Amino acid sequence: MLFKNITILDENIQVKENMYIGITNDKIDYIGKEEPKKKYDEIYDGSGKALMSGFFNSHAHTPMTLMRGYGENMALQEWLEQRIFPFEDKLYGKAVYYGTLLGIAESLKFGIVSTTDMYYFCDDMVKAVIESGVKNNIGRGITNFTDKDIYDLDSFHETKELYNGYNNAENGRIKIDVSLHAEYTSNPKTVKQLAEYMKEIGAGMHVHVSETKFEHEECKKRHGLTPVQYLNSLGLFDTRTTAAHCIWVEDEDVRILADKGVTVASCPVSNMKLASGVCNIPLLLSKGVNVAIGTDSVASNNSLNFIEEIKFFAIANKEKRMNPTLVTPKEAICAATISGAKGQGRNDTGKLAVGLKADLIVLDLMQPNMRPIHNLTNNIVYSASGNDIVMTMVDGKVLYKNGEYTTIDIEKVIFETEKDTNNILQKLK
Ligand SMILES: [Zn+2]
């Protein structure tokens, strides 16, 4: 496909107008002002539109779409114990498969090309990812409330089978990460053994860190160390790691995160809604930490509207620290794209450059909320709506265009998720 007359955000997040972008197979093979000599099978007239890298959702629990709006205005513990855990207890594979597809459809609508996920029934998630054509770093969340070795845990064996069966499958679209749920749902032996396993196979890690003040302070009481210091002391950050939230991290923690190259996945909407706090993005960036953006689950968000997430990411610290100069639009776009791809171990995507994968989105600039355009980056971060995204392409394939899906039967997915949700609610009565 050849995009012509289109405005782009280039690899340095600079705006360029009237450009040609050529896509052959799964890669970008031309970017320029001049029309390329090569012939492309399809021409896309990009007048009034903008092309940029797709978004990388760096922390999610995609199948939890089934619990969207199920429990609201509750304190975290009450919400988990009265709503989420009982519902999850009744989940089954088919429900997770359709819940994942619903989440993927919503992700594509909002420009997300790749997601870092933590959940269970991962075989069913893998199936949904393969069929839909998106990218995903899938991790089977591991908890351990016993003194068992990890080798005696079903969740560990599921991780191992997933890794052996699907890591780098589908031309690298699928990556299998090892996923420790959190410090407070495991013990030192589990963390240490998982860290050793990861180092042995070279897998990435995905873990929740310092989401609430309570969690952070309890860890200090238990181990005499913050969650970052504790997990690091056991080797958990020795391979590519995504640490979700990191709201309550301290100065020494920030130094460790930067030192170890850990990606912090900040989830501003979920954090604000659950009143967990605001991650100190300016501090993390100033110390050289790779900062990305996540939605967390739609049970606590309640959408995968990444344009909204980017805006909250950009403005939360302004309010919290009473300084409107903090977190620039460029920093927000960078976190949503390049830094997210890096956190997922995907060095072949996340920006527009020749030779990289064509994981792209097209935005409609002829919407009233997008005019006039003094600065396109400012408009994308502060004025755009998720509905301005008119195309999402992954590995050179158009998966979403003008409200239509090319790989997902959305009516069937909506019908099946309704059926499965009602089925689960029935079992809870
Ligand atoms: Zn989470």
Q: Ligand 1 centroid vs 59 CA: distance in angstroms?
A: 6
Q: Ligand 1 centroid vs 122 CA: distance in angstroms?
A: 16
Q: Ligand 1 centroid vs 247 CA: distance in angstroms?
A: 13
Q: What is the mean pLDDT of the chain?
A: 97
CATH 3.20.20.140 residue ranges for the chain: 55-343
Q: Ligand 1 centroid vs 215 CA: distance in angstroms?
A: 14
Query: Which tens digits make up the pLDDT trace of 392-411?
Result: 999 999 999 999 999 999 99
Q: Ligand 1 centroid vs 60 CA: distance in angstroms?
A: 6
Q: Ligand 1 centroid vs 152 CA: distance in angstroms?
A: 25
Question: Is this model's pTM higher than 0.85 or not?
Answer: yes
Paired tokens of 47: 């007048």
Residue-wise burial string across 312-336, b where 16 or more C-beta atoms lie within 10 A, e elsewhere: bbbbbbeebbeeeebbebbbbbbbb
Please check the confidence at residue 176 and state whether its pLDDT lies above 90. yes
What is the predicted pLDDT for the residue at 429? 86
- Provide mean pLDDT across the span 64-79: 91
Q: Ligand 1 centroid vs 2 CA: distance in angstroms?
A: 38
* Percent with pLDDT over 70 in the chain: 100
- Cα separation, 50 vs 43, in Å, equals 15
**How many whole angstroms from its chain centre is CA 270?**
13
Query: Which tens digits make up the pLDDT trace of 270-308?
Result: 999 999 999 999 999 999 999 999 999 999 999 999 999
What is the predicted pLDDT for the residue at 77? 81
Please check the confidence at residue 150 and state whether its pLDDT lies above 90. yes
Q: Concatenated DSSP letters for 298-311?
A: TTSS----HHHHHH
The tokens 């991650």 sit on which residue?
279
What is the rounded (10 degree) CA torsion for 88, 90, 93, 97? Answer: -50
Burial of residue 38, with CB atoms counted within 10 A of its CB: 0-12 exposed, 13-18 middle, 19 or more buried: exposed
Q: Ligand 1 centroid vs 327 CA: distance in angstroms?
A: 23
Given 3.20.20.120, 3.30.390.30, 2.30.40.10, 3.40.50.970, which CATH number is that of 2-53+350-405? 2.30.40.10
What is the rounded (10 degree) CA torsion for 139, 126, 69, 145? Answer: -30
Q: At 80, is the pLDDT very low, low, confident or very high (cuts 50, 70, 90)? A: confident
Please check the confidence at residue 76 and state whether its pLDDT lies above 90. no
Please check the confidence at residue 75 and state whether its pLDDT lies above 90. no
Q: Ligand 1 centroid vs 32 CA: distance in angstroms?
A: 40
Q: Ligand 1 centroid vs 408 CA: distance in angstroms?
A: 25
Q: Ligand 1 centroid vs 117 CA: distance in angstroms?
A: 9
Q: Ligand 1 centroid vs 248 CA: distance in angstroms?
A: 15
Enter the DSSP assignment of 36: P
Q: Ligand 1 centroid vs 335 CA: distance in angstroms?
A: 18
Q: Name beta bridge partners: 45.
A: 4
Topology classification of domain 55-343: TIM Barrel (3.20.20)
Query: Which tens digits make up the pLDDT trace of 254-279?
Result: 999 999 999 999 999 999 999 999 99
Q: Ligand 1 centroid vs 160 CA: distance in angstroms?
A: 21
CATH 2.30.40.10 residue ranges for the chain: 2-53+350-405
Per-residue CA distances from 135 to 62, 197, 219, 341 (Å) = 13, 24, 34, 11
Please check the confidence at residue 108 and state whether its pLDDT lies above 90. yes
What is the predicted pLDDT for the residue at 70? 94
Closest to 321 in 3D by CA, of 357, 360, 278, 359: 278
Give, for 5, the enclosing helix (H) or strand (E).
Answer: strand 2-9
Q: Ligand 1 centroid vs 372 CA: distance in angstroms?
A: 37
What is the predicted pLDDT for the residue at 260? 98
What is the predicted pLDDT for the residue at 363? 98
- Provide mean pLDDT across the span 116-137: 98
Query: Which tens digits make up the pLDDT trace of 2-36?
Result: 999 999 999 999 999 999 999 999 999 999 999 99
Q: Ligand 1 centroid vs 197 CA: distance in angstroms?
A: 23
- Provide mean pLDDT across the span 109-121: 98
Q: Ligand 1 centroid vs 71 CA: distance in angstroms?
A: 16
Closest to 200 in 3D by CA, of 152, 172, 160, 230: 160
- Cα separation, 151 vs 132, in Å, equals 33
Residues with CB under 5 A from ligand 1 (ion): 296
Q: Ligand 1 centroid vs 297 CA: distance in angstroms?
A: 6
